[in-house]
Amino acid sequence: MVDRPRKPSALATTPGLPPQPQVAFSADNSSVTATLPTGESVSVLLYGATVVSWKDKKGEEKLWLSEAARLDGSRPVRGGIPLVFPVFGTAPDHAQTKALPQHGFARSSRWEFLGKSTSESTPTPTTPAFAATATSAAGAVAAAAADMSVKLDFGLSSSGLSEDARAKWPYAFNAIYSVTLNTDSLTTNLVVTNDDDKSWECQVLMHTYLRVDDITTTTISGLQNATYTDKTTSPISSSTQSSPLLTISSETDRVYTPAGDSPASVPIVVSSDNKPKFTILRDNLSNVVVWNPWVEKAQGMADFEPKDGYKQMLCVEPGAVGTWQVLEPGDAFEGAQTIVLGGKTE
């Protein structure tokens, strides 16, 4: 590259405006990372639109990612937040999805990065942030930066699928997946539209691998009185969660439907040593899958490393998988999760 002796200098930061979120591609254009001015970050692999990292302002990772996870597009990622669509697991008796591989094709297709958008909540004379910093313009700028968020949008359509995927699921669709990073939360939102001239059915799930300190001191609340199917039994059994707290002490693979008239409105809280670590809020996702492979299952998975990694991970997966979502031509399905750090829900 020719060095221009009179090239323009970098623009200085505009006085009075807070620093802006930064978005950057990896050197090989395989992933995109967004970083807030306060230090929080999220990284999304274009392969599968898989969130592979979410860090707080201290740089502490909130998601579990296998050390043997393939990030080169050769197979679905073990860890992070893989996206399940249009089928959860396998469905050999479902005509439209029976030919698809486990968890469908969304997590194994390359998505297009559609762009980013940012927002901020500017302190006003009626807000505590303004009152605390009213004597300092720099403080007001810092407060505005702390309230900033960044949203990354990704797209996938039927025309972007592999020939194999289109042959196995020959329906026209368009999907927009948004990942929004806030200072204390991460939101993933999927909108799927039926662009076909006939109806089709689907299931959706966000396969979230949370990083926990110690699975033996981890509890899950918000599932009391929820019905669930236990996929570790043969045949698969159904039951109801009687205890207010769910603990993990063996292989766990359950599909819960939280109780209540609006099951998707029930917060799910993951705690460590009785202290809330994550609060999962759901929108139009009425099921919650709880999964941990434990000792034997972890040993049998080639891409699960370290083998005792089950001690530091817990999958809590919001989804719409209890029934099939029927989309008529032109219809859209939208579902989202927000993972809030700690017990804060507002």
**What one-letter code names the amino acid at 239?**
S
121 versus 197: the higher-pLDDT residue is 197
First-last CA distance in the chain: 50
Least confident stretch, 68-82, 191-205, 250-264, 273-287: 250-264
40 is catalytic: no
Q: What is the pLDDT of residue 199?
A: 98
Alpha-carbon distances of 26 from 29, 83, 105, rounded to whole Å: 5, 21, 24
Sign of CA dihedral 74, 77, 81, 87: positive
Say which of 94, 201, 207, 305 is annotated catalytic: 207
pLDDT surpasses 90 at 120: no
**What one-letter code names the amino acid at 240?**
T
pLDDT surpasses 50 at 14: yes
pLDDT surpasses 60 at 9: no
Q: Does domain 22-212+281-339 sit in CATH 3.30.1330.40?
A: no
Task: Report DSSP state, residue 174.
Answer: E
Structure tokens at 45: 């692999």
Phi, psi dihedrals of residue 225, rounded to the nearest 5°: 70, 5
Question: Residue written as tokens 């001239």?
Answer: 197
Task: Report DSSP state, residue 145.
Answer: H
Structure tokens at 274: 């009785």
Least confident stretch, 44-48, 133-137, 282-286: 133-137
Say which of 40, 103, 120, 317 is annotated catalytic: 317
Using DSSP's 3-state secondary structure scheme, residue 67 falls into coil
Confidence of residue 119 (pLDDT cuts 50, 70, 90): confident
102 is in an annotated binding site: yes
**What one-letter code names the amino acid at 61?**
E
Confidence of residue 15 (pLDDT cuts 50, 70, 90): low
The CA distance from 102 to 207, in Å, is 13
pLDDT surpasses 90 at 131: no
Per DSSP, the residues of 242-277 read -SSEEE-SS-EEEEEE-SSSSGGGS-EEEEETTEEE
78 is in an annotated binding site: yes
317 is catalytic: yes
Average pLDDT score, the chain: 90
pLDDT tens figures, 295-333:
999 999 999 999 999 999 999 999 999 999 999 999 999
